[in-house]
Chain A
Amino acid sequence: MDGVNEAKYNSAFAKDTFLILGAIALLIVVEGYVVFTILSEAGSAVAPAIRGIYILFFGLVVGIETIGYLQVRHSIKQHMFDFKYYD
């Protein structure tokens, strides 16, 4: 951490964290609203088992992307001083 302005790094990392958490929240709210609104209006056209496939893939999309983006945050936190991300 030689020659690194830690306060600047922590502030820049906080901005990245804000971006990541904001994007995840937007994804969950919008995707959830759209999928459940369409299924509540049109879902009766298919059998309940088929509706389960929609719920499964909704969970996969949102779940994997959330875990993935949190992993990006973890990676930035882990390496920001080694690779001088914010200089």
Chain B
Amino acid sequence: MTNEVTETTGLVKTLRPYHVWALGVGIVLVGEFMGWNFTVAKGGILGALLAMLVAGTMYVMISLCASELGSATKLAGGPYDWARLFVGPGAAASVGLAVYMEFIALEAADAIVVAFIAQELFPQLQVFPVTLLVIATLTFINYRGVVAALTLNFFMTAIAFLAIILFFFSGTFGVFELHPENLFQGAMPNGMIGLFAALQFGPWFFLGIEGAAMCAEECKRPSRAVPLGQQAGMITLLVGAAMTLFICANLLPSNIPAEGLGVSVYPLFEAAQVSGVPVLIALLAIGTLLTCVSSANGCVCDSSRSWFALSRDHFVSNWFASVHPKYQSPYKAVIFTMPIAIAFAFSGYLDQVITFSIVSGLLCYVLIPFSLIRFRKMFPTHINKVRPFVSPLQPWISYFAMAIAITIMSTLFWGYRYNLIFALLFYLIAYFYFHKKHKKHQKEFDWGREMGWPNPSHHKTEE
């Protein structure tokens, strides 16, 4: 299934662990600057805490699965390639499409938010052209190569994360006054059902961290860079989520559902405003802007790799599988992110776009652990060539992650049932379409030639 173009020109292999960290955290950190606080509107402070812990548990397990699969396969398609190798073509193409949609919808949402922030700073600007400019600029940066794009992400993400750390420690060490009474007053406004309903927004804290493993094909030493960078990213997000929830819940009231933390557009920035410290206000404003840009930037990177991988295996036109001779980037797949992101951005329904992104992500979170279970069954022996990083507690954490993903997906029935049904129908149709299309290009998979691995345990030709 390898295409002709990449046999002569491959993707550049220069990325290091901090690039992996920058890709993963860069995409996700925006969810800690905005969006996560809808958990508070549903379930209060205790609902938000439960959503953070439950979603955090799921993402820790997913990221360990992704680290093992990414460092083993070393392929750009991430969840798509894992499902292609270990599950089947229909599931692979559906998950590849889901990854593409997850990240491209997120890119569109990020670009819209950047445009809104720019308009607040400079009221003469209009949202439409600024959104277009953001998408075009990030596409161009990614066209020029992955190293520049992810080095830029590293600095933007580091500044934004430092802003959260500084804000948290300023609060806990008494630079400004905290209001612990807010924690009790807004503890659980909608009762037990609110706690459960809050789970649907839990993924905001971590949505997209699995994408860090998608740069494995471009890493210099993927078996070290992917697990080290991705797990560092996961800890960064867990720490950032806890700090964000704590500081915002202390500073912004949440006892009245129609106002306060639960409905805030930029909760960290608004909490900084309540603190009254000018340096922190400026830092959190910059952090909000930078996380939106870095998230959109990382999304261009990941969505283009997924499309590139789909193209390389003829699920979509093979034309997109070209690698730029000078920049060694999948430039046609990168450019193709632009019209789709623009279409999403100008649909005008930001919350619908984000919900579609979450459903796509949750579908991946069922198929990633499932791919790992299949991988372990097909290649049960731990040998350096096949599995340099062995994630712990398998297969139990894979089963548990799938159960949590399905539980969180079910909570979308509170408020987003039509989005959920539409998205599941969309991927079901995609599954059958790709399964049929695959038959045209089907041939015997040669594990030795394609992956440099021995045949899997169930392989018939060896018997």
- Collect the chain B residues with CB atoms within 8 Å of residue A41's CB: 180, 183-184
Taking CB atoms, residues of chain B closer than 8 Å to A10 are none
> Are B235's CB and A61's CB within 8 A?
no
Q: Let me know if A68 and B392 touch, CB within 8 A.
A: yes
Q: Does residue A7 face the partner (Cβ distance < 8 Å to B)?
A: no
Asked if A69 and B235 make an inter-chain contact with CB atoms under 8 angstroms apart, the answer reads yes
A26 touches B228 (CB 8 A): no
Question: How many Å lie between the Cα of A11 and that of B61 in the bound state?
Answer: 30
Q: Which of B183, B184, B235 contacts A65 (CB 8 A)?
A: B235
Inter-chain contacts of B393 with A (CB < 8 A): 64, 67
What 9 A-B pairs have minimum CB-CB distances, sorted nearest first? A57-B53, A42-B187, A45-B187, A34-B242, A41-B183, A72-B227, A34-B246, A75-B389, A23-B235
**B384-428 contacts to A (CB < 8 Å):** 384, 388-393, 397
Report which A residues bind B (CB closer than 8 A): 16, 19-20, 23-24, 26-27, 30-31, 33-35, 37-39, 41-46, 50, 53-54, 57-58, 60-61, 64-65, 67-69, 71-72, 75-76, 79-80, 82-85
Chain A residue contacts of B63, Cβ below 8 A: 68
The number of A-B residue pairs with CB atoms under 8 Å apart is 134
Describe A's contact surface by its main secondary structure: helix
User: Do A65 and B238 touch across chains, with their CB atoms under 8 A apart?
Assistant: yes
**Size of chain B's interface in residues, with CB distance under 8 A?**
47
User: In the bound complex, do residue A65 and residue B60 qualify as a contact, i.e. CB atoms below 8 Å apart?
Assistant: yes
Taking the complex as formed, is B343 at the interface, i.e. its CB lies under 8 A from any CB of chain A?
A: no
Q: Which residues of B from 59 to 77 have beta carbons under 8 Å from A?
A: 60-61, 63-64, 67
Q: Are A82 and B384 in contact (CB under 8 A)?
A: yes
Which residues of chain A come closer than 8 Å to B231, judged between CB atoms?
Answer: 23, 65, 68-69, 72
**Residue ID in chain A nearest B222 by CB atoms:** A83
Closest B residue to A70 using CB positions: B392
Complex-state Cα separation, A71 to B168, whole angstroms = 30
Set A43, A54, A68: member contacting B64, Cβ < 8 A: A68
* CB of A66 to closest CB in B, whole Å: 9
Shortest CB-to-CB span from B374 to chain A, Å, is 20
Q: Which of B4-12, B44-52, B262-270, B283-291 is the interface stretch?
A: B44-52
In the complex, chain A residues whose CB is within 8 Å of the CB of B192: 50
Question: A64-B393, A68-B60, A76-B224 given as contacts; is B239 within 8 A of A31 (CB)?
Answer: yes
Residues in B with CB closer than 8 Å to A58 are 53
- Quote the shortest CB–CB distance from A54 to chain B (angstroms): 6
B56 contacts A by Cβ under 8 Å: yes
- Select from chain A the residue with minimum beta-carbon distance to B400: A60
Whole-angstrom distance between the alpha carbons of A36 and B190 in the complex? 22
Q: Which of B54, B243, B392 has the most chain A CB within a 10 Å cutoff? A: B392
- Asked whether A65 lies within 8 Å of B242 as measured between CB atoms, the reply is no
Residues in A with CB closer than 8 Å to B437 are none
Residue of B nearest to A82 (CB): B384
In the assembled complex, the CB of A18 is this many whole angstroms from the nearest CB of chain B, namely 12
Q: Known A-B contacts: A42-B184, A64-B57, A65-B231. Give 13 more (CB < 8 A).
A: A23-B232, A23-B235, A26-B235, A31-B242, A34-B243, A35-B242, A38-B249, A57-B56, A64-B392, A64-B393, A65-B60, A71-B391, A76-B228
